[in-house]
A = this chain, B = another copy of it.
Amino acid sequence: MRTLSPPVGLPALADADLVGQVARLLTQAVVEGRLAPGSKVVEAGIARELGVSRAPVREAARLLEQQGLLVASPRRGFFVRKFAADDIDDIYDLRLCVERHAAVLAARNLTPETRDMLRRQIDVLHQTADLEDPARQVEEDYRFHRLICEIAANRRLLRLFDDLASEMRMVIGLIGRLYDDPHEIARTHEPVLAAIEQGHPERIVAHIDYHIGHAWREVGKLVREIPA
């Protein structure tokens, strides 16, 4: 008798992986602003608060360092990253570079199935727009762009997008609010998809530039308004 677990899509049982949990909690604390930018993250303090030893906290901190949420200073500890206007520009400039490339590749790989996935995600964006849940809206927005990277079928590129997304999440978290009209945002994704469907690299790049350039300017403006 085959008792070998037939793979049902179970989400891998909320791991007993301490490092991951600590990393998630720290990320939340940072994004929600409970840990102010520039403030020190004391290993022993976090460890005590969570009831674990310093080892997992340390590893989680190193993880978040690589993700750009914390910065490590040898023998002085970890600090919550401060974002200057320059950092915003660096991040969005790189994002532009990545997504242009991803979109062109995605157009090349596009199938009816993947096309529908993008289409459906735009629908989700419209539905989410009614929910008055900005965090969710941002998340679904990223999901659309992440889909493009998935369709581009370059794992290294997808990982980079995820790293950038986590940095952007932090920035957005610091700003607090973001979009004025979520429906408007949802709509602006449509020309991007249309360009990908049509497949002219130049037109794709132009629409990606417009779309991301818009976000760039918005975020940049807000960051300059509320400086550290």
Contacts and interface: CB of A to CB of B under 8 A. Distances in A.
A220 to B, nearest CB: 15
Given A15-B74, A62-B62, A66-B66, A93 B154 contact: yes
A50 B59 CA distance: 21
A94 B62 contact: no
Interface stretch (A27-35, A136-144, A155-163, A170-178): A155-163
Contacts of A15: 74
A94 B154 contact: yes
Contacts of A160: 94, 160
B17 A90 contact: no
Interface in A97-154: 97-98, 100-101, 105, 154
A74 B17 contact: yes
A85 interface: no
A159 to B, nearest CB: 9
Contact of A101 (B66, B74, B97, B154): B97
What class of interface size applies to chain A in its complex with B?
A: 20 to 34
Contacts of A98: 97
A46 B156 CA distance: 28
A59 B62 CA distance: 8
Interface in A60-115: 62-63, 66, 74, 87, 89-91, 93-94, 97-98, 100-101, 105
B17 A157 contact: no
B74 A156 contact: no
A63 B157 CA distance: 19
Contacts of A154: 89-90, 93-94
A90 B155 CA distance: 7
B59 A90 contact: no
Contacts of A105: 93
5 contacts: A89-B154, A94-B157, A97-B98, A97-B101, A160-B160
Closest 3 CB pairs between A and B? A97-B101, A90-B156, A66-B66
